[in-house]
C-alpha cells in the first residue's frame, strides 16, 4: 500500500536514488533483491512480460523492506497506468513519451482529480478503503505518486525544455539505448552524436526543477552521470547479476 514514497522524499531532499529494473513475476526473488540495499525496484512491463496482476505480490515484497515499488508500464494509456498503480506500485515510469501533450497525458492518468483523471475505486494501493477514507487517499496519492517520463527519441530530446514545464512530472529519464537508435546509431550510445544529445538533455533538466534520471548499467557510468547532475539511476537486474557472476568467476578461476 502507498504510505510514504521514500524515493520521492529522497529526491526532494536532493539525494541520489538507485534502483533496478526487474521483470520476473517472482515475489520471493523480488524480496531478496529488495534486501540488497536498492532504493526502488522498477517492475518492467515494457521489456518484460509482467502484467498488472503480477504487481501486487511484487509490491508487497518491496514494502517489507522500505524499498519503493515502481512499474514501467507497457504504454502511455490511462487504463494501463491505472491498473499498475491500483495494484500497489508507488509510481510509474512511462516509455516513449515524445511530446508535451503526451507528458501531460501521463500526469493526467497518474493523478486523481483535480490534478488528473485517474479512475477511483478501492484498490490495493489505497488499502481497499480500509485504512483511510478514499477522499484522504486521493489527496495523499497525488502527493506521493512518483511520475517518470522517459526521454528516448530524437523528438523527445528536442522538446525536453518544454517537458520541464509540465506540472506533475518528477523525473525526466534518459534511455540511452533507444535514443541511440532514434538518432541513427542503434546499439551505440557512446557515439559522439548520441552523447552530445544526452548532454543537452541533461543540461536542460538540471537547470529546471525536475530530476534527471538515466539508465546506468555500471557504477562507473552512474558516477559519471552523477557529476552531470543525475540523481535517479536505474540499472538492469540481469546486467548486475552478470557483473557479479563474472567478477566472482574471474577471481576464483584466476582469469
Catalytic residues: 47
Chain position carrying cell 478503503: 129
Question: Could you tell me the CA-to-CA distances from 25 to 43, 53, 55, 71, 127 in Å, in that order?
Answer: 9, 9, 8, 13, 22
Quote the CA–CA distance of 211 and 15 in Å, as a whole number: 10
Q: How many CB atoms lie within 10 A of CB 102?
A: 18
Please name the helix (run of DSSP H) or strand (run of DSSP E) that holds residue 173, with its range, or none.
strand 171-174
| Greatest extent of the chain over all pairs of C-alpha atoms, in Å | 61
Q: Going by C-beta distance under 8 Å and a sequence separation of 6 or more, which residues neighbour residue 63? A: 1, 3, 69, 88
Amino acid at each position: 500500500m502507498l504510505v510514504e514514497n521514500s524515493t520521492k522524499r529522497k529526491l526532494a531532499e536532493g539525494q541520489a536514488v538507485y534502483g533496478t529494473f526487474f521483470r520476473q513475476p517472482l515475489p520471493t526473488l523480488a524480496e531478496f533483491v529488495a534486501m540488497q540495499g536498492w532504493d526502488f525496484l522498477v517492475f518492467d512491463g515494457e521489456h518484460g512480460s509482467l502484467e498488472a496482476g503480477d504487481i501486487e505480490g511484487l509490491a508487497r515484497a518491496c514494502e517489507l523492506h522500505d524499498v519503493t515499488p515502481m512499474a514501467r508500464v507497457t504504454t502511455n494509456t490511462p487504463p494501463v497506468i491505472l491498473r499498475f498503480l491500483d495494484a500497489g506500485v508507488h509510481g510509474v515510469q512511462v516509455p516513449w513519451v515524445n511530446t508535451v501533450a503526451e507528458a501531460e497525458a501521463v500526469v493526467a492518468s497518474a493523478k486523481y482529480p483535480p490534478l488528473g483523471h485517474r479512475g477511483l475505486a478501492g484498490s490495493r494501493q489505497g488499502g481497499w478503503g480500509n485504512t483511510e477514507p478514499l477522499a484522504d487517499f486521493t489527496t495523499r496519492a497525488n502527493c506521493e505518486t512518483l511520475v517518470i517520463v522517459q526521454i528516448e527519441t530524437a523528438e523527445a530530446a528536442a522538446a525536453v525544455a518544454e517537458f520541464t514545464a509540465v506540472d506533475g512530472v518528477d523525473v525526466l529519464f534518459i534511455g540511452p539505448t533507444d535514443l541511440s537508435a532514434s538518432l541513427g546509431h542503434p546499439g551505440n550510445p557512446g557515439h559522439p552524436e548520441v552523447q552530445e544529445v544526452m548532454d543537452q538533455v541533461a543540461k536542460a533538466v538540471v537547470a529546471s526543477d525536475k530530476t534527471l534520471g538515466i539508465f546506468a548499467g555500471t557504477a562507473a557510468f552512474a558516477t559519471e552521470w552523477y557529476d552531470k547532475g543525475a540523481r535517479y539511476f536505474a540499472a538492469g537486474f540481469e546486467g548486475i547479476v552478470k557483473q557479479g557472476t563474472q567478477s566472482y568467476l574471474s577471481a576464483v578461476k584466476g582469469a
